[in-house]
Homo-oligomer: A and B are copies of this chain.
Amino acid sequence: MFKARIKADNLKEFIGTVGSLVDEAKLNVNEDGMQIKAVDPSHVAMIEANLIKSAFDSYETDVAEMGIDVDKFKTVLAVAGKEDMVSLEKDDKLNRLVVNIGNLTRAMPLLDTSGMPDPKVPSLDLPAFVSVSVEEISQGLKASKSVSDHIALTTTKDSFRLVCEGDNQNRVDLTLGKEQLEKLVSPEETTSLFSLEYFALMVNSLPPDRILHINLGTDLPVKVDADLAIEDLTGAQGNVKFLLAPRIDRE
């Protein structure tokens, strides 16, 4: 049994972050809330997204897992307005997820989860830490797209830099000082190279004013944490963690 009711915006945000990396995912529900852990098909990036029970208006469930077609779920939620509530219910008999928005009821078949991985987020010792809003870096990512398909993230004592070097002297350099950053801790200089596409997909799956908490090292993965389902009174009712492997083809 699974039955829950939640503000459409908060569920859209949760599913939107997952949709940046995968088309299908295993949704785990238990008495504490819901969680999706997934690895992208080329095993470069990993996501763990959570909504805690208090994110929901009402929430009742047994421990269960459901195979979700993420794109279809996003399309279903797209008809919901900003203030709409979404009701979810697992139809055990027909193995469907029934989604109700206002007068509209949509039943989606659940996918077989037996082939879906159960990734373990590795524990990493990343020396540098930056907090920055999505909008502060999104123009730099957009400008980089026409230059190259990888991007270097660098921290120094005083700055966080995104540098994208293309062929033929093309270059984009976004340098953010302490005044543009919420937080910066970088005892040593760090630098790693990443897929621009994956990094941009992760960042752009969140709203412009969301704060990203970024952990970095040298030639190490980047870990990006952010709050989800932020409520005025009670604060964040969920969170997302992204992990992205570095590209080591730099000199």
**Interchain CB contact (< 8 A) of A143 among B79, B142, B180:** B79
**A107 CA to B109 CA in the complex, in Å?**
50
Q: What residue in chain B is nearest A160 (Cβ atoms)?
A: B103
Confirm or deny: A172 has a beta carbon within 8 angstroms of a beta carbon on chain B. yes
**A169 CA to B110 CA in the complex, in Å?**
9
Q: Which residues of B contact A139 (CB under 8 A)?
A: 79, 102, 104
Confirm or deny: A176 has a beta carbon within 8 angstroms of a beta carbon on chain B. yes
Confirm or deny: A106 has a beta carbon within 8 angstroms of a beta carbon on chain B. yes
Separation in Å of the A69 CB from the closest CB of chain B?
10
Separation in Å of the A32 CB from the closest CB of chain B?
29
B169 near A95 (CB under 8 angstroms)? yes
B104 near A140 (CB under 8 angstroms)? yes
> What string of 1s and 0s marks CB contacts (under 8 Å) between A14-46 and chain B?
000000000000000000000000000000000
**A180 CA to B104 CA in the complex, in Å?**
12
A89-126 residues at the B interface, CB under 8 angstroms: 94-96, 102-109
Confirm or deny: A170 has a beta carbon within 8 angstroms of a beta carbon on chain B. yes
Answer whether A108 and B75 are a contact pair too, CB < 8 Å, given A103-B175, A103-B176, A103-B180.
no
Kindly list 17 other residue pairs between chains A and B, CB separation below 8 angstroms, not including A79-B142, A102-B139: A96-B171, A103-B174, A103-B175, A103-B176, A103-B177, A104-B139, A104-B140, A104-B143, A104-B172, A104-B173, A105-B171, A105-B172, A107-B171, A107-B172, A107-B173, A108-B169, A109-B170
Which A residues contact B (CB, under 8 angstroms)?
72, 75-76, 79, 94-96, 102-109, 139-140, 142-143, 146-147, 168-177, 180
